Structure 1
Amino acid sequence: MDYANRGRPQRPKKPKKGAKSNAKKASVARRPVPWLIVLLAIALIALFSYFLISINGEGDKHPATVTPPAAQTKPQQQLPEKPKERWQYIEALENKEVEVDVPERELGPPKLMQCGSFRQQTDAEQLKAQIAMVGLEAKIYPSDGDSGRWYRVVLGPYKTKRAAESERHKLQRNKIYGCAIWNWNLD
């Protein structure tokens, strides 16, 4: 079969607008009304309504509980007297104070926060300026090691690690990352 010469498939032609609306009207007019279903629905609604009307108010005629005649002749018994409590701890706990020994928190060595270590002093001073823009004061400490001279940018000392963490979070909110908290003594 020659696929190139077979041609395009033909679509059915659409009827004109006026013809389309007439076709819909004709199809609606031809459908028979299901009178059997309509009559059945009306009968069910009527039966349900009759049922609701017939049970209206019958709940008041029947009492909720039926008491036997033997129970009506007996006199009601009195409840026994409430017993006294045997437990003494309730009054003892109301007036008791608890003493707890809390040891003092050991602070430990002061904390320092290092935010960078650079070969060039200009790089260290640039980071120090960024930290100053946040509102914190940093110091630059030069240190000599096996690999040459380094310039460390350090904040602190802090008495507690919590104070150092607070300032580190402040730096992180201003996009200065990489600060580490150490137990250092720079003396």
Structure 2
Amino acid sequence: MPLSAARRPRRLVILAASLALISVIGAHLAVTLRYKLDAGFFFGSPDAYARVDADNVTEHRHLARPGATIDYAFGIANPGPFTVRLQEVIDEGSGSYTHERVRMKELSREKSPSPVDLGPADAVPFRPVDLRPNAGLLVFVTLRLGQEIPPECAGFSFDVQRVRFTVLGMPREQLVPIGHVIKVEAPASDGEPCKDPGLGG
């Protein structure tokens, strides 16, 4: 049955509105799916037994001992243009380790941070926090190694940290570079670090 002259404009308006809505949703998805956090200030691991520089990255080396703890720190920055809500620093130890403690410290946007500002003093337990555009956050993590350690001279390493955040209401996960490598290796049979040409061994 042919549409009446009065109903045709209404159908066109509905079609145009639907196309506009699809366009807005598509743009929203494109922005949120491409949105990325940046690495902030680079730190290290104060209790590493050795630090080795290679390919412009510092490797912080630790011995794997049952139940040992390892501290490291890194920065996260929101380049904008939207405020994001940082929800979680994800524990990906998979049995090798667990996050025993995660603390955070927000950086002022009004002044350049001093060495004291960049330290763990005044850090508080991690909680979901809003990061405005150009804002930064320091994250201090304590790992607790499991009781089962790798075989002699074997281990694991990582140079990124997975975080969960939301932007424009859309949940996202991302691997954020921590600016250095954390390497954990089981000792040799004599209990000492395994020989490594990079350390002159």
User: Same fold by TM (over 0.5)?
Assistant: no
TM-score if structure 2 supplies the norm length? 0.23
Computing the radius of gyration over CA atoms, which structure comes out larger, 1 or 2? 1
TM-score if structure 1 supplies the norm length? 0.24
Q: Which has the higher contact order (CA 8 A, sep 6+)?
A: 2
Greater per-residue helix proportion: 1
Greater per-residue strand proportion: 2
